[in-house]
Amino acid sequence: MTHRDDAAPKDPASGRSDDHCYRHPDRTSYVLCQRCARTVCGDCQTQAPVGVICPECMAADRRTAPKVRRSRFGADAPVVTYGLMAVIGVVYLAQFVTQRLGFPILDALGIYTSGYTDLQHGVYEPWRMLTSALLHGSWWHVAMNALTIWIFGRALEPAIGRLRFILLLIASALGGSFAVALLAPNVWVLGASGAAFGLIGAWFVVLRTMRADVTPMIVLIGINVVMAFVNPMISWEAHLGGALVGAASMALMVRDQRRALKSRAAVWGMIAIAVACVVLASVVGALR
């Protein structure tokens, strides 16, 4: 805040002293606008980071300030996270209805086993590596995966952006299916566990990058490992594949951030990982 002394000069144009507010000549003041140096009274003063400024300078600042547009969901709303939760819920409801009607068409069209990516011995339907992630075996199954996606998706999606988040989910789901093709070729699998564990693996890398305590994450992963071995219906292979791909994908994004790259190296890296999972699953099937 700048103060003027009592011996203020006269304004040659108006004949009055400069110790009067430029908007209210009948009010004496010794405070100047920090932008234009005009005298302002108490009613015309606006506190700003630089000090007191006058109404005209404040209006000019508002005109030149960048406009921030917010969507109806908020600027950082994790719409992909919520959308995926809604999709797997609706798909499971459709599964439930068609199963009760005796026409489990969704299960027949979407479930995955390595035979569907076996170029030599089976029917080649590689899209099942991804569509199987939308199907689930029970309400408990879909609820647990939705909960995991909700917990980690709300943290990751606003941080990395929707495009990278979508690619992270796709690559992790394909990574889970590839691990099944490699480690459990005769097992039929369905569920978003690969994608969900991809988010867990990605968040683990985030915590390590921040040098934060990863003990809770290790405990969570350990509990899931124990559950996978106790319950034979849980595919630990899909969990492992999804987590590894998720961690690798996040490592690429961290690398981009550290190097301040404006290119989309991590985006192309995740696309390459996703394609590699499909190709390698096909090669494994052909060589078996």
pLDDT in tens, 52-84: 889 888 888 776 644 444 443 344 689 999 999
pLDDT in tens, 237-249: 999 999 999 999 9
Judge if 119 and 177 occupy the same domain: yes
Judge if 46 and 92 occupy the same domain: no
Would you list the DSSP string of 174-238?
Answer: HHHHHHHHHH-TT--B-SSHHHHHHHHHHHHHHHHHTT---HHHHHHHHHHHHHHHH-TTS-HHH
Check if 193 is active-site.
yes
Residue 221: predicted pLDDT: 84
Judge if 17 and 84 occupy the same domain: no
Judge if 177 and 271 occupy the same domain: yes
Active site residue: 172, 239, 249, 282, which one? 239
Judge if 53 and 86 occupy the same domain: no
Judge if 55 and 91 occupy the same domain: no
Question: Which long-range contacts (C-beta less than 8 Å, at least 24 apart) are formed by 251-256?
Answer: 251/205, 253/160, 253/164, 254/205, 254/206, 254/209
Q: Is the pLDDT of residue 3 over 80?
A: no
> Domain span at residue 145?
79-287
Check if 71 is active-site.
no
72 assigned to some structural domain: no
The mean per-residue pLDDT over the stretch 77-104 comes to 93
Judge if 27 and 157 occupy the same domain: no
Report whether 169 contacts 84 (CB < 8 A): yes
Judge if 58 and 83 occupy the same domain: no
Give pTM, 2 decimals.
0.72
The CATH number covering residue 108 comes to 1.20.1540.10
pLDDT in tens, 18-28: 788 889 888 88
Cα dist from 240 to 39, 138, 175, 179, 196, whole Å: 69, 21, 9, 7, 11
Active site residue: 29, 132, 177, 193, which one? 193
pLDDT in tens, 176-196: 999 999 999 888 999 999 999
Which range among 44-58, 92-106, 134-148 shows the weakest confidence by mean pLDDT?
44-58
Give the chain's domain count. 2
In angstroms, the CA 129 to CA 131 distance is 6
Counted residue by residue, the chain has a size of 288
The mean per-residue pLDDT over the stretch 21-42 comes to 86
Judge if 35 and 85 occupy the same domain: no
Judge if 97 and 218 occupy the same domain: yes
User: Token digits for 95?
Assistant: 């599964």
From the list 87, 241, 115, the residue with the least C-alpha distance to 174 is: 241
